Structure 1
Amino acid sequence: MQFEHLGASPRIHPEAVIAPTAVISGDVTIGAGCQVLHGAVITAEGGPITLGDNVIVMENALVRATATNSVHIGSHVLVGPMTSISGATIADEVFLATGTRVFNGARIGEHSEVRINAVVHLRTVLPPESVVPIGWVAVGDPAQLLPPERHDEIWALQHELDFPGYVFGLDRDTPDLMIQLAERYGASLARHRDDRRID
């Protein structure tokens, strides 16, 4: 399914294959030889998304751009099932295994691997040929790789990256943070009411 969103329509190379249950919305460019499998969602929420050539986006993966952070995925990249990419830059020949999470402003260098259920956090920079082990967290610039049981160290680094401020423009100490966040984000997402299906 393809949708025009905010006046922009997907541009899909004729050699790309898009499953009938995948959703492609807005300012999305998909290169030659790409495969987007069932249940995948590629949605440009105000910023563009570009997939190079021969990118595979597997079942139920989510690729989302924001007005602040576009998405660029290089060529010969595999985006595993149930992986989530939000506002990040992925270089060529990167492997993102099942269930990985890549957050806003992150950059992953070429020939890197992010293994099953690993996280590349907000504004984290992974140099080329990095490996994030299964279930581990990459955080910071330059990235530090930590197992999830080292939560206090992860939080110390993550706190400085200011997720609510960077992603939602809200101060973490706001007393009604979740009320403001949900109402502001909900208003932004409501722009989908005017989407138009084009396929």
Structure 2
Amino acid sequence: MTTTDPRFPGANIIPIHGKSPKIHDTAFIAPGSTIIGDVEIGAGSSIWYNCVVRADVFTIRIGERSNVQDGSVLHCDPPRPGDEEGSPLIIGDDVLIGHMAMVHGCIIHDRGFVGLGAIAMNKSVIGSDAMLAAGAMLTERKVMGPRELWAGRPAKKLKELGEGAIMGMKVGTAHYAENAKHHTEAVRAAMGDA
């Protein structure tokens, strides 16, 4: 059964298998988004319009001040024979995930960046301050080191990121944290809760 949470009007918050999403009061969950099962979302993080965060078979953890932009899909894989650890989805703090990304059972370290329409697959790792370029596909078990830029399908390392690129990602993350506050107010006003 879909539940409504007065903190997040218009969003679908769905418990399953006895697990309910745990979402910090200061997070922004946009209308049309669906958050399912064993999900934890930290302070100041934002899940934008029409995203799906589905932890029906294992866990999804999203840190603080991270943003998942419009239309993205987040999922995980359970432990099974031959893969006893499974593939939880672990997203650190200050992570930026671009529009229409697909992020599945991987680890994204603090300040990692996933570009528009990019895919990160099971057991892949995006290092701190690293960038997976728009449209790239990071295949299973590939590991991006800190401050690396990877692009292509399949993704390969292109170069080390300079200070300008790192600063640009930080600015983007700060912008989304601030913009989420404005959208929280706008959604509440539009839905009559202001």
Q: Same fold (TM over 0.5)?
A: yes
1:31 alignment partner in structure 2: 42
Q: Are 1:137 and 2:154 matched, yes or no?
A: yes
Q: 2:92 aligns with which of 70, 74, 93?
A: 74
Q: Are 1:53 and 2:64 matched, yes or no?
A: yes
Q: 1:111 aligns with which of 129, 134, 139?
A: 129
- Listed one character per residue, the Cα deviations across residues 138-190 of structure 1 (whole Å, up to 9, x for unaligned) are 3xxxxx548xxxxxxxxxxxxxxxxxxxxxxxxxxxxxxxxxxxxxxxxxxxx
Q: How far apart are residue 45 of structure 1 and its match?
A: 3.0
Asked if 2 retains the 8 angstrom alpha-carbon contact of 1:50 and 1:73, the reply is: yes
Q: Point out where structure 2 has 5 or more consecutive residues left out of the alignment.
A: 1-11, 79-85, 159-194
Q: How far apart are residue 61 of structure 1 and its match?
A: 0.2
User: 1-side partners of 2:154 and 2:157: how far apart?
Assistant: 6
**SS in structure 2 opposite 1:48?**
strand
- RMSD between aligned residues: 1.3
2:144 alignment partner in structure 1: 126
User: 1-side partners of 2:29 and 2:132: how far apart?
Assistant: 24
Q: 1:97 aligns with which of 67, 90, 115?
A: 115
Asked if 1 retains the 8 angstrom alpha-carbon contact of 2:67 and 2:97, the reply is: yes
- Listed one character per residue, the Cα deviations across residues 126-149 of structure 1 (whole Å, up to 9, x for unaligned) are 11111013x3423xxxxx548xxx
1:15 alignment partner in structure 2: 26
| One-letter amino acid of the counterpart of residue 12, structure 1 | I
Asked if 1 retains the 8 angstrom alpha-carbon contact of 2:126 and 2:132, the reply is: no
User: 1-side partners of 2:121 and 2:153: how far apart?
Assistant: 14
The share of aligned pairs that are identical, in percent, is: 31
TM-score by length of structure 1 reads 0.68
Asked if 2 retains the 8 angstrom alpha-carbon contact of 1:45 and 1:66, the reply is: no
**SS in structure 2 opposite 1:72?**
strand
**SS in structure 2 opposite 1:29?**
strand
Instruction: Detail structure 1 runs of 4+ shifted over 4 Å in the superposition.
Output: none
Size of the aligned set, in residue pairs, is 140
Asked if 2 retains the 8 angstrom alpha-carbon contact of 1:65 and 1:71, the reply is: yes
| One-letter amino acid of the counterpart of residue 41, structure 2 | I
TM-score by length of structure 2 reads 0.69
